[in-house]
């Protein structure tokens, strides 16, 4: 029997130390080598919205100093603040409004984008040129610059990518897509020259649609800019820009500068409404406006999946198509919406072979060749147009359009329409006979048939078509009358007849012949 060995006090202490260390939470290799304790829990976020910072601490277990950091940070609360929350730096400045500065109270406004020390709290007394550093450090999570996601942490500006991660260098493209390639928007730039007059006191410069970004307009001249807006809910608004400053218009921030010889308008976006930029006449000279912005492409072509195979065995083919997709409503719309954007290139249909296994009844393997090498692709085929539904005044005519396939022997058969969707389908309805219908045209009245008393007068009434030619086709019900009574105020000395005297030739004969000719009412072809 093996004898027990005595445990010395030194061995016991070493054993306890080993158990203590091994019971701690798992650490990285670097931590074990540096004898760091495990990272502690994350602190509460410095902000509730708009992007803040949280920290975690650890302690050094060694009697000597440990290599590395004892604090680490991460971003948190990466959700947009409501518009009424205001600017975070401005909130920190306004917190000093009830503290006297050199014996006087001030209303403090933020001084942003300080290139020397962006993480100090510099504020300007409202209505004065007094700028004071009210704190050496802004609160963690404060933006270093207004147009950047970089944030101040412990008084130092830390890089933040569009993925809201500290140290990340990933940026948004001009369309606002994180790590995007710029394909979801289009650059719009142009110049407008005012054409105002005494009767035209305002004019539209450009319409900037919902979702646009990086808007910049520069007006040079005596006129003034003003805005009209329309939200997606249909609410309309108007805003006159009269002084330099930042304004909130329909939840979009507008930065406006009014200078002696020009006006500058900037909006970072994305716009939360459609903005109509207008100018108002304020001087005799003309003004010019240069503008540039990125407009979102809200309709994109989307390639469909492959349609079912044309054959279940023995070798067939299948095609893809393209459909126009509305990015805002997430639904398929008519192709014309995608044609509005020249940047949108409709994907060409793809063709691939499928179901290449030989059919069970076949006694051998069927060699498959590319479909378009041994007979043409399916195609649209149309019947002749039907007769027009109306002989004049605009009608419609139709035809049948079907997808057909031609086999190796040249036999043409109808197939499912999806096989032809790689090319546009021919129209099945079109307008026809859009010219005006024939109408009656009355000539001047003839002289009265008598020189005194009561007589008759006549006129020629013709049926005229859209070319000005005398034709048939006019409705007999709407024909103006060709004769009427007339009275000559000169009294007759020896009236012989009480009834009106009928017209003598040639008036009576001419009117009678034309009226008989009008009885032929053939429809024009």
Measured at the alpha carbon of residue 299, what is the angle toward residues 298 and 302, in degrees to the nearest 5?
130
HSE-CB for 237 with a 13 A CA cutoff: 18
| Mean of pLDDT over the chain | 79
Residue 122 φ then ψ, to 5°: -100, 135
pTM of the full structure: 0.46
pLDDT at 24: 45
pLDDT tops 70 at residue 20 = no
Q: Which residue do the tokens 């975070």 mark?
A: 88
Q: What is the pLDDT of residues 139-194, one digit of tens each?
A: 888 989 887 889 998 889 989 888 888 888 888 888 888 888 887 888 888 888 87
Residue (of 271, 247, 269, 243) closest to 257 by Cα position: 243
As a whole-number percent, the residues of the chain with pLDDT over 70 amount to 82
CA distance 158 to 150: 6
> In angstroms, rounded to a whole number, what is the distance separating the alpha carbons of residues 118 and 136?
10
Highest mean pLDDT among 77-86, 237-246, 294-303: 294-303
Residue 269 has pLDDT above 50, yes or no: yes
Higher local confidence (pLDDT), 384 or 377: 384
Residue matched to tokens 């010019």: 288
Residues facing residue 216 across a β-bridge = 266, 292
| Weakest-pLDDT range from 102-106, 168-172, 309-313, 377-381 | 309-313
When pLDDT is averaged across residues 217-238 and rounded to a whole number, the result is: 81
Lowest-pLDDT choice from 82-91, 149-158, 355-364: 355-364
The pLDDT value given to residue 401: 92
Is the confidence at residue 407, as pLDDT, over 60? Answer: yes
For residue 482, the 8-state DSSP code is S
pLDDT at 250: 78
pLDDT at 369: 43
- Nearest residue to 219 (alpha-carbon basis) of 274, 252, 266: 266
Query: Where does the pLDDT of residue 13 fall: very low under 50, low under 70, confident under 90, or very high at 90 and above?
Result: very low
Q: Which residue has the higher pLDDT, 225 or 9?
A: 225
Is it the case that residue 423 has pLDDT exceeding 50? yes
Q: Is the pLDDT of residue 41 over 90?
A: yes
pLDDT of residue 496: 53
What lies within 8 Å, CB to CB, of 33 at 6+ separation is none
Q: What is the mean pLDDT of residues 93-117?
A: 88
pLDDT band per the 50, 70, 90 thresholds, residue 119? very high
With a cut of 80, say whether residue 106 has pLDDT above it.
Answer: yes
For residues 227 and 215, what is the distance between their CA atoms, to the nearest angstrom? 13
Residues sharing a CB contact under 8 Å with residue 450, sequence separation 6 or more, in sequence order: 486, 488, 492, 501
């Amino acid at each position: 029997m093996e004898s027990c060995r005595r445990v010395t006090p030194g061995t016991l202490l070493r054993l306890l130390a080993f158990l203590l260390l091994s019971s701690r939470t798992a650490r990285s290799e670097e931590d074990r080598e540096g004898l760091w304790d495990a990272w502690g829990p994350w602190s509460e976020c410095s902000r509730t919205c708009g992007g803040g910072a949280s920290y975690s601490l650890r302690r050094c277990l060694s009697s000597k100093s440990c290599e590395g950091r004892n604090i680490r940070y991460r971003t948190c609360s990466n959700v947009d603040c409501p518009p009424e929350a205001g600017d975070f730096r401005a909130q920190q400045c306004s917190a000093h409004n009830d503290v006297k500065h050199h014996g006087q109270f001030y209303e403090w406004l933020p001084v942003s984008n300080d290139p020397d020390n962006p993480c100090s709290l510099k504020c300007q007394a409202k209505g004065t040129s007094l700028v004071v550093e009210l704190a050496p450090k802004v609160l963690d999570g404060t933006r270093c610059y207004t147009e950047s996601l970089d944030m101040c942490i412990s008084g130092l500006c830390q890089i933040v990518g569009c993925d809201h991660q500290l140290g990340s260098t990933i940026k948004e493209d001009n369309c606002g897509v994180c790590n995007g390639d710029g394909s979801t928007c289009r650059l719009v730039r142009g110049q407008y020259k005012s054409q105002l007059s005494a009767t035209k006191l305002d004019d539209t410069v450009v319409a900037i649609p919902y979702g646009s970004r990086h808007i910049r307009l520069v007006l040079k001249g005596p006129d003034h800019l003003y805005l009209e807006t329309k939200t997606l809910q249909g609410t309309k608004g108007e805003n006159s820009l009269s002084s330099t400053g930042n304004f909130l218009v329909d939840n979009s921030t507008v930065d406006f500068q009014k200078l002696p010889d020009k006006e500058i308008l900037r909006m970072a976006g994305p716009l939360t409404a459609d903005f109509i930029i207008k100018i108002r006449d304020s001087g005799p000279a003309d003004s010019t406006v240069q503008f540039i912005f990125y407009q979102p492409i809200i309709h994109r072509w989307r390639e469909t999946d492959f349609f079912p195979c044309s054959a279940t065995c023995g070798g067939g083919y299948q095609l893809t198509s393209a459909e126009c997709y509305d990015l805002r409503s997430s639904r398929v719309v008519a192709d014309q919406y995608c044609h509005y954007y020249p940047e949108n290139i409709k994907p060409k249909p793809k063709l691939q072979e499928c179901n290449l296994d030989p059919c069970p009844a076949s006694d051998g393997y069927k060699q498959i060749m590319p479909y378009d090498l041994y007979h043409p692709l399916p195609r649209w085929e149309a019947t002749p147009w039907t007769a027009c539904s109306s002989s004049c005044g605009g009608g419609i005519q139709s035809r049948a359009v079907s997808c057909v396939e031609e086999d190796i022997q040249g036999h043409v058969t109808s197939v499912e329409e999806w096989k032809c969707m790689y090319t546009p389908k021919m129209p099945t309805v079109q307008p026809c006979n859009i010219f005006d219908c024939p109408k009656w045209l009355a000539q001047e009245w003839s002289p009265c048939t008598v020189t005194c008393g009561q007589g008759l007068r006549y006129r020629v009434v013709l049926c005229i078509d859209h070319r000005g030619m005398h034709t048939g086709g006019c409705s007999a019900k709407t024909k103006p009358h060709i004769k009427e009574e007339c009275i000559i105020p000169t009294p007759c000395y020896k009236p012989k007849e009480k009834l009106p005297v009928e017209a003598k030739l040639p008036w009576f004969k001419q009117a009678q012949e034309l009226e008989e000719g009008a009885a032929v009412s053939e429809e024009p072809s």
